[in-house]
Amino acid sequence: MRDSGLGSREIAQRVRRSAKHVERMIEWTEIPRSRRPSRFAQALESRVLALRDQGLDHDEIASKFGRSARNIRQVEALAYYRRAVALLRPSD
């Protein structure tokens, strides 16, 4: 929204947050993030994707890892996001 020329107040009204909150979020997006995810996070994401490929639903996977189905959905979404970002990254 910011890139399309909207100001902080307009964005804040659209997302129902304060202008200060929007400014903070914009500042946070500009912080460089070079740290890779931990091996544990990568292993969990890989296992969740593998189990989903085998046909298990979120509740079944959640019980295996002692987590909630909502958390497993988040892990799955993050894994797909990371894979998409890796595919879009220019090759050297």
Could you tell me the CA-to-CA distances from 72 to 11, 50, 75, 82, 86 in Å, in that order?
31, 12, 5, 15, 21
Q: What is the pLDDT of residue 87?
A: 77
Average pLDDT of the segment spanning 31-44: 76
Section 3-13 average pLDDT:
84
**pLDDT-derived band of residue 70, with 50, 70 and 90 as boundaries?**
very high
Whether the per-residue pLDDT at 62 is higher than 60: the answer is: yes
Q: Using the predicted structure, report yes or no on whether residue 35 has a pLDDT greater than 70.
A: no
Tell me phi and psi for residue 17, to 5 degrees: -135, 170
Q: If pLDDT is split at 50, 70 and 90, which confidence band does 71 have?
A: very high
Question: What percentage of the chain has pLDDT greater than the value 70?
Answer: 91
